[in-house]
Structure 1
Amino acid sequence: MDLSSVDADLLLTIGLAIAIIAIPAAISAFSDSRPPRAATVGILVAGALILLAFYARPGGYTLKTVPEAVARVLARLVNY
């Protein structure tokens, strides 16, 4: 599978954004004794996007480069 044309920073940012929304939704569902169906799907999608981003970027990401990648995506969004 050729991932050379995939924007890994964008995939990582979208995956992190979905995870930020899905994790509190899962906690809320558990605390209300409801099954966390939508939150589970969100967490799975977020995990898949983050893994794909790590796979698509040569060398992967480190803890130092993740905020830089998110900042690059947000800067592109603001300057668009």
Structure 2
Amino acid sequence: MFTDYLLTIGLVLGLFSIPAMLSAYADRRTPRTSMAAFILSVAILALAYARHPGGYAVADVPNVVFTVIADIIK
């Protein structure tokens, strides 16, 4: 279950960092913070994939995310 949380955190962090990177490029600024957040999200995703027995399939990701969200709401 811990790896499910890592996967979800990595996905959310990565999804939030992409618009920040695009905004920095559009404003002609260096995207230091958003690039660091993106690299951190990739590292978290790699850790979740490596620690989960058998890894994750692409088809499993939506179920994992919804399971984590449901666990947080409960």
Residue ranges of structure 2 left out of the alignment (5+ in a row): none
The alignment yields a C-alpha RMSD, in angstroms, of 1.0
AA in 2 matched with 1:38: T
How far apart in 1 are the matches of 2:72 and 2:2?
14
- Per the normalisation by structure 1, the TM-score is 0.89
Q: How many residues align?
A: 74
State the percentage of identical aligned residues: 38
Instruction: Provide runs of 4+ in structure 1 moved above 3 Å.
Output: none
Residue ranges of structure 1 left out of the alignment (5+ in a row): 1-5
User: What is the match of residue 42 of structure 2?
Assistant: 47
- Per the normalisation by structure 2, the TM-score is 0.96
Give the alignment partner of residue 68 of structure 2, picking from 47, 63, 73. 73
Report the structure, 1 or 2, having the larger helix content: 2
Q: Residue 38 of structure 1: CA displacement?
A: 0.6
